[in-house]
Amino acid sequence: MRTKPHTEPDTWRVVTARRHREAVARVRLAERGLETYLPLLRRWPRPPVGLDVGPLFPGYVFVRAGRVHFHQIARTPGVGGLVVFGGEPARLDDAVIDFLRSREEPDGIITPCPLPSGDAVRITDGSWRGLAAILDRRVSARERVL
């Protein structure tokens, strides 16, 4: 009995990138014909020396892929592998990528919200809509991925 190969629509996945190699991983995946996304964040305040832009999620790149691409992704230079939950490569809703892209400036870089710690805020969307809160602090790049 012959079986058909498992096919599923391409969905956004998360891949780990080698340390400080997110851009390389993104380019190499794109060279293999895969749609990629590497959200960049403007550092605030700007560092006195070095680049003022870095990955929003250090060590990670988003790629739109189906099961048929997994082996190809794993063999891509700069890529560590797919993020897996429960034995399956994690899927990411299109809405997450759309939201991140909506936060980009015309230059494609996300500028952090300039609110200082201690400012009062009101949540305007989502399950916590209407909730008033106080901005505690900015999170570090490491905390954004934990």
Q: Look up the domain containing 59 and give its range.
A: 11-112
Q: What is the pTM of this model?
A: 0.77
Task: Evaluate whether residue 130 is within a structural domain.
Answer: no
Task: Evaluate whether residue 19 is within a structural domain.
Answer: yes
pLDDT tens-digit readout, 58-112: 999 999 999 999 999 999 999 999 999 999 999 999 999 999 999 999 999 998 7
Single out the residue of 46, 32, 36, 31 nearest to residue 14, CA to CA.
36
Task: Evaluate whether residue 47 is within a structural domain.
Answer: yes
Amino acid at the residue 61: V
Q: Give the Cα separation of 44 and 35 in Å (integer).
A: 29
**Cβ neighbours around 20 below 10 Å, total:** 12
Task: Evaluate whether residue 80 is within a structural domain.
Answer: yes
Task: Evaluate whether residue 139 is within a structural domain.
Answer: no
Of 13-17, 38-42, 130-134, least confident by mean pLDDT is 130-134
Q: Give the Cα separation of 27 and 36 in Å (integer).
A: 8
Q: What CATH number should be reported for the domain holding residue 18?
A: 3.30.70.940
Task: Evaluate whether residue 64 is within a structural domain.
Answer: yes
Range list of β-strands (E), 45-130: 53-55, 60-65, 79-82, 84-85, 88-89, 91-92, 109-110, 120-122
Task: Evaluate whether residue 6 is within a structural domain.
Answer: no
Task: Evaluate whether residue 27 is within a structural domain.
Answer: yes
Does the pLDDT of residue 124 top 90, yes or no?
Answer: no
**For the chain, what is the domain count?**
1
Q: Give the Cα separation of 146 and 138 in Å (integer).
A: 14
Greater confidence (101 vs 118) lies with 101
> Considering the chain, what percentage of its residues have pLDDT values greater than 90?
56
